[in-house]
């Protein structure tokens, strides 16, 4: 895993780059958030391919558990990927609602993040 540091308007952003899944359980996401925050990052960008597909099955509760922590600690998270491959109106509605807020964004490119 590589952490690329981006700076935008005085904000230190961590872009997490990996060829393998790094979030396979809720604790992985929470640990990643804590470790990056400790290093001074106040926004995190991660790629959909680095998150277990279970995250995108809302019935699992996995996404809610992780994203609640990011919201509680006010650490903005951008997830970059192609979310059209995950069927279901519930997930699409969840993504639309998340994108209206300030803490979690689902985007298609790192430039959007």
C-beta atoms surrounding 55 within 10 Å: 23
Mean pLDDT (the chain, rounded): 92
pLDDT, residue 80, reads: 97
Domain of 42: which CATH number?
3.30.750
Q: How many domains does the chain have?
A: 1
pLDDT of 113 over the 90 cut: no
Does any domain span residue 25? yes
Tracing tokens 């991660």 back to the chain, one arrives at: 46
10-38 residue pLDDT tens: 899 999 999 999 999 989 999 999 999 99
| Mean pLDDT value across residues 66-71 | 90
**Do 37 and 30 touch, CB atoms closer than 8 A?**
no
Q: Side-chain half-sphere of 79: how many Cα atoms within 13 Å?
A: 24
| Mean pLDDT value across residues 57-80 | 91
Does any domain span residue 57? yes
Does any domain span residue 113? no
Q: Side-chain half-sphere of 91: how many Cα atoms within 13 Å?
A: 19
Q: For residue 95, what pLDDT band results from cuts at 50, 70 and 90?
A: very high
Kind and range of the H or E run holding 72: helix 62-72
Does any domain span residue 54? yes
Write out the residue range of the structural domain in which residue 35 sits: 2-107
């Amino acid at each position: 895993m590589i952490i690329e540091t981006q700076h935008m308007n005085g904000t230190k952003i961590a872009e997490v780059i990996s060829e393998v899944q790094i979030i396979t359980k809720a604790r992985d996401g929470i640990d990643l958030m804590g470790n990056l925050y400790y290093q001074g990052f106040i926004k995190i960008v991660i790629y959909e391919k680095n998150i277990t597909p279970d995250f995108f099955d809302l019935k699992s509760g996995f996404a809610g558990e992780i994203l609640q922590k990011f919201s509680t600690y006010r650490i903005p998270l951008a997830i970059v990927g192609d979310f059209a491959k995950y069927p279901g109106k519930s997930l699409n509605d969840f993504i639309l609602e998340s994108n209206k807020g300030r803490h979690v964004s689902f985007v298609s490119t790192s430039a959007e993040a």
